[in-house]
Amino acid sequence: MTDIVDELKWRGLFALSTDENALRKALADGPVTFYCGFDPTAASLHVGHLVQVLTMRRLQQAGLRPLALVGGATGQIGDPRPTAERTLNDPETVAHWVTRLRAQIEPFLSFEGENAAMMVNNLDWTAGLSAIEFLRDIGKHFRVNKMLTKDSVARRLESDQGISYTEFSYQLLQGMDFLELYRRYGCTLQQGGSDQWGNLTAGLDLIHRLEPDASAHALATPLMTKADGTKFGKTEGGAIWLDPEMTTPYAFYQFWLNVDDRDISGYMRILSFRSREELEAMEAQTAERPQARAAQRALAEELTTLVHGAGQTAAVIAASKALFGQGELGELDERTLSAALSEVPHIRVAEAGPVIDLFAEVGLVASKSAARRTVKEGGAYVNNAKVTAEDAVPAKDDLLHGRWLVLRRGKKNLAAVEVTG
Separation of CA 324 from chain center: 27
396 is in an annotated binding site: no
What does the alpha-carbon distance between residue 296 and residue 290 come to, in Å, rounded to a whole number? 10
Pairing state between β 16-17 and 217-221 = antiparallel
Q: CA–CA distance from 308 to each of 61, 107, 125, 413 (Å)? A: 21, 10, 33, 28
The DSSP secondary structure of 138-190, one letter per residue, reads: TGGG--HHHHTTSHHHHHHHHSSS---HHHHTHHHHHHHHHHHHHHHH-EEEE
381 is in an annotated binding site: no
170 is in an annotated binding site: yes
Q: What is the number of helices (H) and of strands (E) in the chain?
A: 19, 13
* Closest by Cα among 263, 261, 311, 266 to 286: 261
182 is in an annotated binding site: no
Q: Which residues contact 257 (CB under 8 A, 6 or more apart)?
A: 293, 296, 297, 300, 320
Q: Which residues contact 109 (CB under 8 A, 6 or more apart)?
A: 56, 57, 60, 66, 68, 117
Q: Which residues are annotated as a binding site for ATP?
A: 234
Q: Which residues are annotated as a binding site?
A: 35, 170, 174, 234
Q: Which residues are annotated as a binding site for L-tyrosine?
A: 35, 170, 174
